[in-house]
Amino acid sequence: MRTLSASEFVWGWMLRYTWTCSCCGRQFDELPIHWSVEAPALYDALSETERRSRATLSTDFCTIGDNAFFIRGQIEIPLLGSSERLTWGVWASLSAASMEQVRNAWNRHDRASEAPFFGWLSSALPLYPDTINLKSNVHLRSQPDMPLVELEPTDHPLAVEQREGITLARAAQIAEALLPRH
């Protein structure tokens, strides 16, 4: 599975923090800390025709054919020395049974009380070794929060960062790699 290129990331949620880009020397006063992809990697790999004929994509869910189900969620990484978190907006694939349970619970005010659902990470994040099919638990949260995607606590660098947090300098490194035009 190919890794997403920088231009495919949507960013937002700026943190006030001054940093200097090591590639061009430009100084920034704000740091984007929310990065997300619009669709699961499998959906990205489909042709336009295939997307139209056998896939559906909404804000929260994606279905491909009649046996691949995905939910959008967030991996949260504590930012050391800050009360904020860096988030990766990602997709996870769920079993048909889990997806049915999620859809039934989705509009309930107590959906956060559902037990977590097992999911395979379905987004290829840059700056890490392959992230496709990392194991995770998907926790529904109260509206309007997106589900939390909690990676299995392995020694994969993304799982380590999720557990231990990252420095603002590391967050700036991520911004440097993904921010368009600087």
Q: Contact positions toward Zn ion, by CB under 5 A?
A: 21, 23-24, 182
DSSP symbol at 47: -
**Cβ count near 167 (within 10 Å):** 12
Kindly calculate the radius of gyration of the chain based on its CA atoms and give it in whole angstroms: 17
Q: How far apart are CA 51 and CA 30, in angstroms?
A: 37
**Residue closer to Zn ion (CB basis): 149 or 175:** 175
Compute the least distance from the CB of residue 27 to Zn ion, in Å. Answer: 10
**Residue closer to Zn ion (CB basis): 108 or 182:** 182
Compute the least distance from the CB of residue 126 to Zn ion, in Å. Answer: 16
**Residue closer to Zn ion (CB basis): 144 or 180:** 180
Compute the least distance from the CB of residue 41 to Zn ion, in Å. Answer: 27
Q: Phi first, then psi: give them for residue 94, nearest 5 degrees.
A: -115, 160
Compute the least distance from the CB of residue 9 to Zn ion, in Å. Answer: 16
**Residue closer to Zn ion (CB basis): 24 or 115:** 24
Q: How far apart are CA 163 and CA 102, in angstroms?
A: 26
